[in-house]
Amino acid sequence: MKKVLLFLAVWFFLASPVWASPFLVCNPDTTTNPPTFYRVIVDGGTPLSSPAQAVTGGVRMHHDVAGLNLLQTHQFTVSACKVNDVGVEVCSATSGFTYPAPTAPAPATGVKLEQ
pLDDT in tens, the chain (115 residues): 666 555 555 555 555 445 567 899 999 999 888 999 999 999 999 999 999 999 998 999 999 988 888 889 999 999 999 988 898 999 999 998 898 888 888 887 777 777 7
pTM: 0.71
Q: Decide yes or no: CATH 2.60.40 for domain 21-99.
A: yes
Domain boundaries, the chain: 21-99
Q: How far is C-alpha 107 from the geometric centre of its chain's CA atoms? A: 31
pLDDT at 29: 92
> What integer pLDDT is reported at residue 47 of this predicted model?
93
Beta strands in 5-112 (DSSP E): 23-25, 37-42, 48-51, 53-55, 58-60, 62-64, 74-83, 89-91, 95-99
